[in-house]
Structure 1
Amino acid sequence: MSVGRTLKSYLFWTYERGSFHYDVMVTLILAFLFVTPHLWDYGDRPVPPRSSSEIGVQVTAKGFIYEIPAARVHADSSTPLQSALQQQIMPVSGPVAIDRWEPVKDAHGHLTTWRVWAHR
């Protein structure tokens, strides 16, 4: 059998299952799958853990529950709390209607996050 004909048979996968050439093809495929990640950088990286400055979002049947770090919410007399919370949620989920919110405090009673219930 000529080399060209053998390569053509490999390309079109014409060998019977269990034959020598079939086993060679399967071995080459498995070698490619298991060896190339060590030789080639595919650019995929694990997702780093969330930092404390990120907004957490939990999806429920009735809407969304957001956990916004207290340091990110800047409410004063000119900006009511609901508007300040809305400003933090808008970049994450777009326009939502806030149903209610509550402060979440640590063991010492310091405000850590705001828990906000909202829906579209």
Structure 2
Amino acid sequence: MKDLFGKYLWWTQERGSFHYDVMVTLILLFIFLTPHLWSYRDRPTPRGTSPAEVLVKTESPDHFLYQINATQLDKSEDLETALLHNVEAISGDVVLDRYEAAKDSSGKIVAYRVWAHR
């Protein structure tokens, strides 16, 4: 019995043998069952966009929704022109359909959602 456990521990069983298959089965069971039985507390962290990122979603082949952080906009231009410059830097020539401000819980504008098409 002691010799059998040593062979399991040092993985010296012949490939294709019954004991080799038992070891592989135990490893696979461990891999696939422990996440359901054991909480590893590894949840993805919610991630917003950084100040230099623009989020782009495709609504149809030629219609897009852009989310631009308010800190990215050039304050010397009017709002629509600044939004258009940011979008055109990514997508080339587009036509702005509409835009709206996205506010945080305190009412401060943090981003703009821009709908545009080619």
Q: TM-score, normalised by structure 1?
A: 0.53
* Equivalent residue letter for 2:56: V
* Equivalent residue letter for 2:105: A
Q: Quick check: 1:90 aligned with 2:59? A: no
* Aligned-residue offset at 1:82: 1.1
Which residue of the partner structure matches residue 63 of structure 1?
63
Q: What runs of 5+ residues in structure 2 fail to find an aligned partner?
A: 1-46
* Equivalent residue letter for 2:67: E
**Alpha-carbon separation, structure 2, partners of 1:80 and 1:53:** 19
* Aligned-residue offset at 1:100: 0.4
Which residue of the partner structure matches residue 32 of structure 2?
none
Q: What runs of 5+ residues in structure 1 fail to find an aligned partner?
A: 1-48
State which of 102, 105, 111 in structure 1 corresponds to 2:103: 105
Aligned length: 70
**Alpha-carbon separation, structure 1, partners of 2:105 and 2:78:** 27
Question: Cα deviations across residues 5-30 of structure 1 (Å, max 9, x unaligned)?
Answer: xxxxxxxxxxxxxxxxxxxxxxxxxx
* Equivalent residue letter for 1:63: H
* Aligned-residue offset at 1:53: 2.1
Which SS does the other structure have where 2:64 is aligned?
Answer: strand
